[in-house]
Amino acid sequence: MISIHHINKYFGSFQALKDVSFEIQRGEIVGFLGQNGAGKTTLMRILTSFMPATSGVVTIDGQDVVQHSLDIRKKIGYLPETPPLYPNMSVKDYLRFVAEIKDIPPKKQSLQVDRVLAECQIANVSHKMIGTLSKGYKQRVGIAQAIIHDPLVLILDEPTSGLDPIQNLQVRKLIKNLKDQRTVILSTHILSEIEQIAHRVVIIKSGQIIVDQPLEKFLKPQGAQPISLEEAFIRCHGQDEETIDE
């Protein structure tokens, strides 16, 4: 589904990504981890055709993200850390607007809006102004806009940041329910979420991939006792717990 081959990215003389290569299969949920400044956001921007790589090739569903950028954007749903919401619009009007700008045929727009309202469990607030909603509901509206066009790939950047425990649980459950329909890349600093959602973990450090393993294998090295993802993350960075960004 997603193939990343020998990606390098320079900003002037600074190399943000260094020969990054890995693949993600259809239907996988991959936890994409790294400290602040490691290169996560740069790679996600390349995947979404927001910016080109300096060298290397990324393909999604067999298409090059540079040569077919408009087609690729139709295949991707993206939830940035701050969802692109309009506080003065109602939930339903906002989703209708999103359906239109994402080129959903007019005859299907109402159907798709009703589908994501139900799937994201926000039908009960569909006529409320987005600005009046709790952060948990806003995150669900953000996910709804990301999946309204039935993308093959869903990229979620810090989807539960700032949520209370109940809101966190609700959004996590929603993400789990998406796994059979879409390939999901989940980037978050809340490592316990990756443990509960992801099939696989990819860790980037200083622009290079240092871990790419099934989650279960990464947390239980051969012949060793199982450890938490937080402990494994700290070990692979070779740093004390105090120096890891939360």
Structural contact between residues 68 and 91, judged by C-beta atoms closer than 8 angstroms: no
Residue type, 175: I
pLDDT in the model for residue 10: 96
Q: Is residue 101 part of a domain?
A: no
**Where is pLDDT greater, at 193 or 117?**
117
Split into its structural domains, the chain has a count of 1
135 three-class SS = helix
- Average pLDDT of 81-93? 92
**Exposed, middle or buried, 25 (CB in 10 Å: 0-12/13-18/19+)?**
exposed
Indicate whether 156 pLDDT > 60.
Answer: yes
Q: Is residue 161 part of a domain?
A: yes
Cα–Cα nearest to 148, from 178, 109, 179, 121 = 109
Indicate whether 86 pLDDT > 50.
Answer: yes
Q: Is residue 31 part of a domain?
A: yes
**Where is pLDDT greater, at 81 or 18?**
18
What is the percent of the chain where pLDDT is above 70? 94
Q: Is residue 126 part of a domain?
A: no
pLDDT in the model for residue 239: 54
pLDDT in the model for residue 160: 78
Query: Which pLDDT band, with edges at 50, 70 and 90, does 244 fall under?
Result: very low
Indicate whether 242 pLDDT > 70.
Answer: no
pLDDT in the model for residue 182: 79
Q: Is residue 109 part of a domain?
A: no
Query: For all residues of the chain together, what is the average pLDDT?
Result: 87
The enclosing H or E element of 57 equals: strand 55-60
Residue range(s) defining the domain that contains residue 21: 2-81+154-240
Q: Is residue 110 part of a domain?
A: no
Q: Is residue 163 part of a domain?
A: yes
Q: Is residue 193 part of a domain?
A: yes
Angle between helices 106-119 and 91-101 (to 10 degrees): 130
Give the tens place of pLDDT for each residue, 34-85. 888 888 889 988 998 889 999 999 999 999 999 998 899 889 999 888 888 9
Give the tens place of pLDDT for each residue, 171-229. 777 777 766 667 899 888 778 788 888 889 999 999 999 999 998 888 887 667 778 88
The CATH number covering residue 230 comes to 3.40.50.300
Name the CA radius of gyration of the chain, rounded: 18
Cα–Cα nearest to 114, from 146, 85, 134, 91 = 91
pLDDT in the model for residue 222: 65
